[in-house]
Chains A and B, each alone.
Chain A
Amino acid sequence: KAGVTQTPRYLIKTRGQQVTLSCSPISGHRSVSWYQQTPGQGLQFLFEYFSETQRNKGNFPGRFSGRQFSNSRSEMNVSTLELGDSALYLCASSFRPYWSEYNEQFFGPGTRLTVL
């Protein structure tokens, strides 16, 4: 079974630009979560989607948004990029729905975003 895939793997942007990242979950998984990982802050939760609806949202500004399609693929968008947005963006997929007590998440390889 193929794992979680993310594209692109690397991105270089300049301040003020916007970026869209893509995530394809493991086949059959309907929940997709996004995380930002930086050396100083570690892994921080951005948002979670299940059945095309955002179910949970972390403490990030509105410049960070996402969506999920009917095939469970998800995209994350960051507008008006800032230098501090440079990070590894990870998505994770899960088989069980968000309301389930048991919810193992599996991570993709990540997208490394550098903002100049």
Chain B
Amino acid sequence: QKEVEQNSGPLSVPEGAIASLNCTYSDRGSQSFFWYRQYSGKSPELIMFIYSNGDKEDGRFTAQLNKASQYVSLLIRDSQPSDSATYLCAVANTGNQFYFGTGTSLTVIP
């Protein structure tokens, strides 16, 4: 079983819609959760982090964490073509070792 699992996609949404990206993790003791965006040929860019159960909003992005279900998600409201990228979920365990999912490819259709 992989430490972090994501649907690889591709996920396609129309411009202006809400994109929903999901991630599950296996280490119940994980402490920190991150979402990175990676454009083709570029390095990952940190867009959200969340440490406590519940929702965290930053502009058009909302991260949701449910530690009991070992589930973290990212919602992108009013999706734009510039949001088209691969989104990586990362989880840091109690030893502060990071595990990344393989990423979900998102395409926003104009």
Interface residues of A (CB under 8 A from B): 33, 35, 41-45, 48, 55-56, 58, 88, 90, 98-110
Q: How far is the CB of A37 from chain B (nearest CB, A)?
A: 9
Decide: B96 and A56 in contact? CB cutoff 8 A.
yes
Decide: A42 and B101 in contact? CB cutoff 8 A.
yes
A44, B103: Cα distance in complex, Å: 12
Decide: A90 and B46 in contact? CB cutoff 8 A.
no
Decide: A42 and B42 in contact? CB cutoff 8 A.
no
Q: Which B18-72 residues have a C-beta within 8 angstroms of A? A: 31-32, 34, 36, 42-46, 49, 51
A80, B40: Cα distance in complex, Å: 29
Decide: B43 and A110 in contact? CB cutoff 8 A.
yes
CB-CB under 8 A for A107 and B96, given A43-B88, A102-B32: no
Which of A56, A88, A105 has most B Cβ within 10 Å? A105
CB-CB under 8 A for A107 and B100, given A101-B32, A101-B51, A102-B32: no
CB-CB under 8 A for A33 and B46, given A43-B88, A101-B51: no
Decide: B102 and A107 in contact? CB cutoff 8 A.
no
Partner of A107, one of B44, B51, B103: B44
Interface residues of B (CB under 8 A from A): 31-32, 34, 36, 42-46, 49, 51, 88, 90, 92, 95-103
Which residues of A have CB within 8 Å of B95? 56
Partner of B97, one of A45, A104, A107, A110: A45
Decide: B101 and A107 in contact? CB cutoff 8 A.
no
Decide: B43 and A43 in contact? CB cutoff 8 A.
no
Other than A55-B96, A104-B49, give 16 A-B pairs with Cβ distance below 8 A.
A33-B98, A42-B88, A42-B100, A43-B44, A43-B88, A44-B100, A45-B99, A88-B43, A98-B96, A101-B32, A103-B32, A107-B43, A107-B44, A108-B43, A109-B42, A109-B43
Q: How far is the CB of B105 from chain A (nearest CB, A)?
A: 12
A52, B65: Cα distance in complex, Å: 34
CB-CB under 8 A for A105 and B43, given A33-B98, A45-B98: no
Which residues of B have CB within 8 Å of A43? 44, 88, 90, 100
